[in-house]
């Protein structure tokens, strides 16, 4: 690997990566310890209490909660087409696009929207990479150049998710190690194009050992993989800051530019 895969950019958004979010689905279910303090589940409960029409359906209380039942929002499919300036779009910040109850026909529509809105760059994060790999292999075996596909690995118990990610046809594959709940010595980084790490925030947050972060950072540096450190975490997202060993780490996939690179 070479350092040409790396791009350093100024971040003035406190570690926030996206410039827009798009939720063609909302709601989800807990699948692993990284979900235990899910911000989206808590936020959905608040939105339901406020009467937000997108969060009327309750999920199973054993794995979900008020306002967090899996819901499709076809009325939102046209939103990216309305955004004239190129954006870096986080897809399904309030859901998991590859939840088993999202129909494959609906996933095909989401893919079509992302293909047509080529001025935007979309990034999709899932804790269900096996389904993602299977669906994309069937529906989109030739990767969309403006879509990044990623999975969450919160501890060494879940490093096999990265293996499923490697089976995914993608122009950019990325790993989210957030919340990082333990060391990941067995995490393979081959065919991974970007890694970001972050600690947990909110009530009951679990602390992150700096040694776990440094281990990942050092491997990324050695292998020429862009590395971004989002936050230490704490009672609030910004409580612990985001300085690691005297500096911030803000690398992004090398072919992405924060300035418009495609015609509007």
| Span 21-53, pLDDT tens digits | 999 999 999 999 999 999 999 999 999 999 999
Alpha helices in 117-229 (DSSP H): 129-139, 160-166, 210-223
CA-based R_g, the chain, Å: 18
Q: In this predicted structure, what is the pLDDT of residue 239?
A: 87
| Distance separating alpha carbons of residues 184 and 213, to the nearest angstrom | 9
| Chain CA centroid to CA 248, Å | 20
Cβ neighbours for 134, distance < 8 A, ≥ 6 positions apart: none
Low-confidence ranges of the chain (pLDDT < 70): 1-14, 255-264
Q: Which two tokens stand for residue 244?
A: 């690691």
Q: Which two tokens stand for residue 141?
A: 């075996």
User: What 3-state DSSP class applies to 105?
Assistant: helix
Helix (H) or strand (E) holding 107: helix 104-116
Q: In this predicted structure, what is the pLDDT of residue 205?
A: 92
| Distance separating alpha carbons of residues 134 and 65, to the nearest angstrom | 28
| Chain CA centroid to CA 233, Å | 17
Residue holding tokens 């501890």? 155
| Distance separating alpha carbons of residues 76 and 208, to the nearest angstrom | 36
Cβ neighbours for 176, distance < 8 A, ≥ 6 positions apart: 125, 150, 151, 152, 153, 196, 198
3-state helix, strand, coil in the chain (%, to 5): 30, 20, 50
Contact assessment for residue 165 and residue 189, using Cβ atoms and an 8 Å cutoff? no
Q: In this predicted structure, what is the pLDDT of residue 5?
A: 62
Q: In this predicted structure, what is the pLDDT of residue 15?
A: 78
Q: In this predicted structure, what is the pLDDT of residue 238?
A: 83
């Amino acid at each position: 690997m070479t350092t040409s895969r790396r791009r350093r950019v100024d971040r003035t958004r406190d570690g926030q990566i996206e410039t827009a979010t798009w939720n063609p689905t909302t709601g989800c279910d807990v699948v692993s310890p990284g979900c235990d303090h899910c911000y989206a589940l808590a936020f959905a409960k608040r939105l339901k209490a406020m009467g937000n029409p997108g969060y009327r359906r309750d999920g199973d209380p054993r794995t979900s909660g008020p306002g967090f039942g899996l819901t499709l929002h076809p009325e939102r499919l046209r939103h990216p087409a309305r955004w004239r300036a190129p954006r870096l779009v986080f897809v399904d910040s309030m859901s998991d696009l590859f939840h088993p109850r999202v129909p494959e026909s609906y996933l095909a529509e989401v893919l079509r929207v992302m293909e047509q809105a080529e001025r935007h760059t979309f990034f999709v994060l899932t804790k269900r990479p096996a389904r993602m790999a299977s669906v994309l292999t069937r529906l989109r075996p030739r990767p969309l150049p403006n879509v990044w596909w990623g999975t969450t690995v919160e501890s060494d118990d879940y490093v096999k998710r990265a293996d499923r990610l490697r089976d995914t046809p993608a122009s950019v594959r990325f790993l989210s190690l957030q919340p990082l709940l333990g060391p990941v010595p067995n995490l393979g980084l081959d065919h991974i194009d970007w890694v970001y790490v972050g600690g947990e925030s909110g009530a009951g947050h679990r602390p992150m050992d700096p040694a776990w972060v440094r281990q990942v950072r050092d491997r990324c540096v050695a292998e020429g993989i862009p590395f971004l450190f989002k936050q230490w975490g704490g009672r609030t997202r910004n409580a612990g800051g985001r300085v690691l060993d005297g500096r911030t780490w803000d690398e992004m996939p090398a072919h992405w530019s924060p300035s418009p690179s495609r015609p509007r």
